[in-house]
Amino acid sequence: METGQDPLVTFYRMLPGAPRPGRARFDAGGTLPTSAFQYCEPSRLASAFGYYVFLPMPFQVEWDGGTEGLWSFDGGADWYPLSEAAFPNSMAAFDSIAPGPCKGFCPPFLTLTVDHATMQVWTGWFACTAPGYSLLVRGPANLTRSAGYEVFEGIVETDSWFGPLFVNIRFTRSGVPILFDNERPFLQVQPLHRSAYAESLQNRFVVDDASAISGELWQAYERSLINPIVRHPERGHYAKAARRRRAAEPVCPVTGGKG
């Protein structure tokens, strides 16, 4: 965080040993192809938007395809029925820091939900945001996903709702152990100003035919697609222009940063 600025997002470690969240990376954790990292500015920006959140420990889950599941946190040596599971020693750790009314209410680590194709997973962190900001909680952008589950995306208004940073996943495989790794980013959380998803703003769209494209927009098409081919054939023209534009933008009055 830059000196003199209030934090946009604050993470609180609630489970001992939970890996620290960190800025998402332009190279998608080192997995983005070199050519995309150099020349594909849309992929770079999407990859770096927000923060990586990791699982507090590795574990495995085997879902039976119906209403039951098993889980293991010792590499598969022992398996336990999964309905609602606590992180090892989490209740005592939580009660040691929670004030009186909150003691005994440590969030569960894993919960197989009523719809038994889904499971709720707690990352071991609480989070809050600056006034007016929410968190979009989703799977990491441009990282290879597990074949065993999908992450449901959600927007949490963390400037007023304070609690566990969790997510719901949907199983896509049954009858086999699914590994949840704590060394790769599990989630990517992205701060959104509430105005960005306000209904009044989202409803401001038009669907039209190509005949309605103005001369000004055709000129923009020429600048965006044709000129780089005809006049600037070198790779990365868009990326260079976009980076120059962002560097020249004024300081944002909301965040105190660029843009």
The encoded tokens of residue 3 equal 């000196």
- Asked if residue 126 lies in contact with residue 163, where contact means CB atoms within 8 angstroms, the answer is yes
- Asked if residue 129 lies in contact with residue 158, where contact means CB atoms within 8 angstroms, the answer is yes
pTM given for the model: 0.86
| pLDDT (0 to 100) of residue 5 | 79
Give the ranges where the chain is alpha helix by DSSP (H): 34-39, 41-48, 90-97, 199-202, 215-221, 227-230, 237-248
The sign of the torsion formed by the CA atoms of 74, 76, 80, 86 equals positive
Domains and CATH numbers, the chain: 9-200 (2.70.40.10), 206-248 (no CATH)
**What is the distance between the alpha carbons of residues 81 and 87, in angstroms, rounded to a whole number?**
14
pLDDT averages per 10-residue partition of the chain, 259 residues: 78 93 88 76 90 97 91 95 94 94 96 87 97 97 92 97 96 95 96 95 94 94 82 64 70 53
**What is the distance between the alpha carbons of residues 100 and 3, in angstroms, rounded to a whole number?**
35
| pLDDT (0 to 100) of residue 259 | 47
| pLDDT (0 to 100) of residue 254 | 52
| pLDDT (0 to 100) of residue 113 | 86
| pLDDT (0 to 100) of residue 224 | 82
**What is the distance between the alpha carbons of residues 25 and 45, in angstroms, rounded to a whole number?**
9
